[in-house]
């Protein structure tokens, strides 16, 4: 027959809530908030460095496309120009 013990029943672990202490005495919601702020600041910093602004109007989008095409045509033209050394050589 099973023996009756006077030990208290095993304590279940607390359910994880936003108030659960995770690391360094910080609660779960604080850790999540700090992480979100960190990710947001990295994204903002990268956008500032690379100036990846999204064009808002159709005019801006078309202007940017025209700019790209002009740059591409210019680069293609540069490829057809002979190197400077060949241009400046004096015959004889």
Question: Mean pLDDT in runs of 10 for the chain (92 residues)?
Answer: 60 67 75 92 85 76 92 88 67 62
Coil, helix or strand at residue 18 = coil
pLDDT at position 29 is 82
Which residues touch 34 (CB under 8 Å, ≥6 apart)? 26
Question: What pTM value is reported for the model?
Answer: 0.37
Alpha carbon distance 59, 73 (integer Å): 21
pLDDT at position 37 is 96
Provide the token pair at 75. Answer: 């680069």
């Amino acid at each position: 027959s099973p023996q009756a013990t006077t030990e208290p029943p095993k304590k279940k672990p607390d359910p994880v809530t936003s108030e659960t202490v995770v690391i360094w005495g910080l609660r779960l919601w604080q850790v999540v908030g700090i992480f979100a702020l960190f990710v947001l600041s990295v994204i903002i910093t990268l956008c500032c460095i690379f100036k990846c602004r999204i064009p808002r109007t159709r005019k801006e989008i078309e202007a940017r496309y025209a700019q790209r095409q002009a740059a591409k045509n210019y680069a293609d033209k540069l490829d057809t120009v002979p190197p400077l050394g060949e241009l400046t050589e004096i015959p004889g």
